Every structure is written in structure tokens, then in C-alpha cells.
Structure 1
Amino acid sequence: MTTVTKLQTGPVIDETVRLLTEHYVFPEIAGQLADLLRRRYAEGAYAVDDAAELARLVTTDLRSVNGDRHLGLHHHADQVPEKQGAAVLESIRGDFDTSLGGAPRVELLDGGVAVLELAPMLFPLEWAAEPLAAALALVSRARALIVDLRANRGGDPDTVAFVCSHLLDKRTHLNSMYWRDGERTEQFWSQPHVPGARFGGSKPVYVLTSNHTFSAAEELAYDLQQLGRAVVVGERTRGGAHPREGWTVHPHLEVSIPVGRAVNPVSGTNWEGVGVRPDVPCAPADALDRAHTLARARLTD
């Protein structure tokens, strides 16, 4: 049920500025954005009665300095809980329940080539481990694997590591995250053991991407590409490499702030702002056929 709550823009802007200053992974840019939001508020730019319109206006300003697509003020039609991160979890639970846990398609194509679609997200691992393990075990006997991320909008780096663990033979350093909180770096590794069967690290893997592929889905494509484990086929991805947290600043508004940045151990950088560049560029609609052709050709070499 949708609840109408009177919008007071001043407290929303004040709290957004406070959270930016305390948590954004780039403190200098946080200061610039804080000044921008205060100035725009003083100018009357946010004098609106509609929470969705305020979210649009503030998000445009938040992304105007460095183009960080994880920065934003998000509107939720239904009232969201105040607990940090709860708004996103509540909003994606329905997607999880209606997508077979984020693995809505498993198919065997000609030549023993399996397709595993991971969409619409790489859900939190505590939710997704069981359905993903089942799907990955099912495709483990295929001669080649196509992982379809064209409609995947992101998710959990732990889930990225879980998927990679099924596609590698040994424990491998995948990615590192520098966190603003405590100025620490956390490493993400594939695991030496997986539940069920493993596809392994020697058979061909292709990853399909599009301009909709974002965030953790980009990390999955980028990690496998940088390791030389997969061929990326399709369109350049959106370019969001900063893990984010969400805070409720109004019953219908959640501010999204990146609290870390990815550092790949192979490239020494990440895909922020530039996206993951495909090894085989093509239109997303053609990517599956192109990858299938490539896989069959490789299997007959």
C-alpha cells in the first residue's frame, strides 16, 4: 500500500549532504557535491512537492561532477524501512522470487554448449547460493558455457566470487575493494571447493554483455576477462565499479552512496566510467548466436 508523506526538502538535502561527507569513497568530490547541493537548495532548485521529482533533480546533480552512476537519490513508491540498506533488499526480493533466484534460464544448445542466464541481478549470496549452485551444477557437464549477463543490473561481489569459483580450478584472487570506512582494502578470492559439480577452468566460457550490464555483473565479466578465462561478447557495459550502500532519508527516498572502489589485481584498475570492453563487439541481440558460433568453432579445432 502506498503511503503519502509530506515532503520537506530541507531535511532530505541536509541528511544527504551529511551522508555524502561521511561515506563517499572520494572525500574531495563529496565536498564538491555537498557544496553543490547546498547551493542548489538555496537557489530554490529543489522547491518541489513530489518526492519522485526531487529524486530526479538531486540525482542529476549528484552525477554532474564525476558521472558516478551509483550515486543517486532513489524514489520508492511504497514506504521503505529506515534500516540501512533495507530499502534495496525489500525492493529486489520480488525479483529474486520471480527469477528462480537469479538464474531464470538454463539451456543446452547444439554442440554441447550450455547457456546460463544470470538476471536480473546477482542477488545476495545468502539468498542465491542454493539456486545458483543448482544451475551451475546443471551446466557443469557442458562442453562450453555461455553466461548471459545482458539483462543483469548488478548485485553482490560475494556472489560474483561464488560464480567464478565454479569456473576456475584453483583459488584465485579476483578483485580487491578499497573501502572508505576505515580506509581498508578487502580481497575477494574464488573458493577452492564448491557445493556440487564444478564446470572447471579449462573448458571454453563466453560472457554476453550489453549497455544494461552494470555493477557486479560488470565485475563478473571483467574478472573473467582479465584472468583470460572468458571471452566477452556483445556491447560495452555501463561502467559502474563502485560498491554502494543505501540510507533512507525520507519514507519514500533512499540515497545511494558508493563506499568503496574496485581494484583488479591484473589490470590495477577497474571499469568505472568506461565499462567492460567486449573482446568480440556486436549488437546485444546478436551476441548469443555469435558466442555459440565461436564456441562450436573452438570445440571442433
Structure 2
Amino acid sequence: MTTLTQFQPAPVIDETVRLLTDHYVFPEAAEQLATLLRERLAQGAYDVDGAEEFGRLVTADLQSVNGDRHLRLIHHADQVPTEKGAATMAAVRRDFDTSLGGVPRLELLDGEVAVLELGPMLFPLEWASEPLTAALNLVSRARALIIDLRTNVGGDPDTVPYLCTYLLDERTHLNTMYWRDGDRLEQSWTLPHVPGARFGGSKPLYILTSSNTFSGAEDLAYTLQQLGRAVVVGESTRGGAHPREGWTVHPHLEVAIPLGRAINPVSGTNWEGTGVQPDIACEAAGSLDRAHALALERLAE
């Protein structure tokens, strides 16, 4: 384990404060956090035995002002690449290679109800378009669809419109992102075309969630719920609506800072802090059976 005898906490805090001030989507919160981190440093709060514990303490302080769960100082056991975001993408690639490209389960249940599990995250389309396209083309034949996001912890927001295009019939405004850089708004819409057949916008659709569902997976669930397209079944999700970027601040530490925030065109807000609230609340472990029963009832009508 890398210890604080091998590095001083002050340079890490100084660089973290600089990055927060320059990039965090909420400038006022960034100023409060900068003051807090410097005060905690002066108090000796970060004089601990190792970088992992240091990361935990700083993360707790970073999240103490507004509860932003995307705001973290992440410890990596292996040395972190110096390129922006490289540490995160290396870990993402390992997950992609061990999860069948983000589609670990596809099953047909009784009544021609398909189950499509997406996890452990929504991977970048340059990697995931092939497995996602194959899976979505297969489930297009089902009479009802259950998308399982219970173990999905986020991912690439650009993958959400691709998935939604298969689940809707018409061009649809899905989301708007506010980016601090340039003080700009960027709309997200379904795509004009996708490869193969769509499941479409009329057949029954259910989304399973848990208390672990986070970030990009919440985006998918919230967007389809707000459009009235999907019924969310399970538990309230973790509540992270701010896309982030990562910067190396030490050979084993990466600071994650949100650059933007989501604005849903239906609700005018997002799921930050509150999570996606299920339409049918139940324990995550029993949500698949509950959704299957709901689908069979709907199909029998």
C-alpha cells in the first residue's frame, strides 16, 4: 500500500482544489469545498497511514457539502495513468471484457416475456454497439420486455439514447445536459435510425432497479419513466445525475469531478440526491418475479 510517508497530502489537496475550482459544475459549492479541504488539511485531518484511507477521508469531505456522489477521490491499487480519465477507462475495459460486452443475461420467460440484463454498466458505444444491437434485435420479437438494471452502476450517457431508440417509435427529446464549460446546454434525442428491428414504443416495458443502480443506469430508468414508456419496479436508486471526469492527482489517486447536470424535459429536474423512485416498490431480490407477473397480467388484458 502506498503510504503518506511517500507523498505529502498538501500537493494532492492543492491540485484537487484547483481542479474543483476550474471544473466543478457548481462553482459556489466548489468554493465551499476548497475552503473545507484546506481547513481539514491545516487541522491534520489527512495525516493518516495510507493513500486508501486518505482517499476515503477526502471523499467524505467532498460529498459533505451537497451530497454529490460522483464527487470522489478514488484510490487505485495499481498506478494511475497520467492521461485524463485513463484510470477509469482501464477498469471499464476489464469489466466490458468479463460481462459479454455489458449484456450478461438474455432470457425468454413464460408468456414470451424477455429479460435483458445490462451491466455492470453502460459501456461506450464504440465498444458496446455490437453486443447491444444483437441483444436488442433478439428481444424485439418478445411480447413484453424487462430490462434489469439492478447491478448497473452507471456508464456512458451517450449509450442511453441508443438504447431508448429501440424502445420508442418516434424521434424523442430525452434529456438536456448543462455543461459548465462554455455555460452551454446540449440536448439528447433518440436517433433517426438503428440497426435491425426495434422493440418499439407500444409493447409492455418494465425496468428493474435496486439501491445500487446509479448514474447512467438511473438516466435510462428515469428518462423512460418520465416519458411514460416504462414501469420501474424495485427499489429507489442511489441518486447521481452529474456526469463526471477523472484527473490523476497522485500515482494512486484519481479525483472525479462532475462537469455537468441533467435536466429532464418532462420533469424539469433530475434524480440527483433523490434517486429514481419506483412505480412499483418492492425488494430488488423479488422485482423480477413481480415485473414478470405484471407483464403477464397486462398481456392477458
Q: Name the TM-score, length of structure 2 as normaliser.
A: 0.98
Task: Name the CA distance, whole Å, in 2 between partners of 1:3 and 1:126.
Answer: 35
Structure 1: gaps (5+ residues): none
> 1:85 is matched with which residue?
85
Identity %: 74
Task: Name the CA distance, whole Å, in 1 between partners of 2:77 and 2:40.
Answer: 25
**3-state SS of the aligned residue for 2:146?**
strand
Task: Name the CA distance, whole Å, in 1 between partners of 2:10 and 2:20.
Answer: 15
Shift of 1:192: 2.2
In 1, are the aligned partners of 2:143 and 2:204 still within 8 Å (CA)? yes
> 2:298 is matched with which residue?
298
Shift of 1:171: 1.1
Task: Name the CA distance, whole Å, in 2 between partners of 1:10 and 1:249.
Answer: 11
Query: Per-residue displacement from partner, 1:234-290 (whole Å, max 9, x unpaired)?
Result: 000000000101001011100000110000000000000000000000000110000
Q: Assess, with a 3 A threshold, how the Cα gap between structure 1 residues 67 and 3 changes in structure 2: closer, same or farther.
A: closer
Instruction: Note if 1:252 corresponds to 2:224.
Output: no
Shift of 1:4: 8.1
> 1:73 is matched with which residue?
73
**3-state SS of the aligned residue for 2:186?**
strand
Aligned residues: CA RMSD? 1.1
Task: Name the CA distance, whole Å, in 1 between partners of 2:3 and 2:119.
Answer: 32
Q: Name the TM-score, length of structure 1 as normaliser.
A: 0.98
Task: Name the CA distance, whole Å, in 2 between partners of 1:100 and 1:59.
Answer: 32
In 2, are the aligned partners of 1:7 and 1:49 still within 8 Å (CA)? no
**3-state SS of the aligned residue for 1:96?**
helix
Task: Name the CA distance, whole Å, in 1 between partners of 2:78 and 2:132.
Answer: 29
Shift of 1:197: 1.5
In 2, are the aligned partners of 1:59 and 1:71 still within 8 Å (CA)? yes
Shift of 1:124: 1.1
The one-letter code matched in structure 1 to 2:97 is D
Matches within 5 A, 1:1-150: 6-150=6-150
In 2, are the aligned partners of 1:3 and 1:79 still within 8 Å (CA)? no
Task: Name the CA distance, whole Å, in 2 between partners of 1:153 and 1:218.
Answer: 8
> Number of matched residues?
300
Shift of 1:169: 0.7
Shift of 1:8: 2.0
Shift of 1:49: 3.8
Shift of 1:91: 1.2
Structure 2: gaps (5+ residues): none
The one-letter code matched in structure 2 to 1:119 is G
**3-state SS of the aligned residue for 2:158?**
helix
Query: Per-residue displacement from partner, 1:83-122 (whole Å, max 9, x unpaired)?
Result: 1111100111111001011010000000000000001000
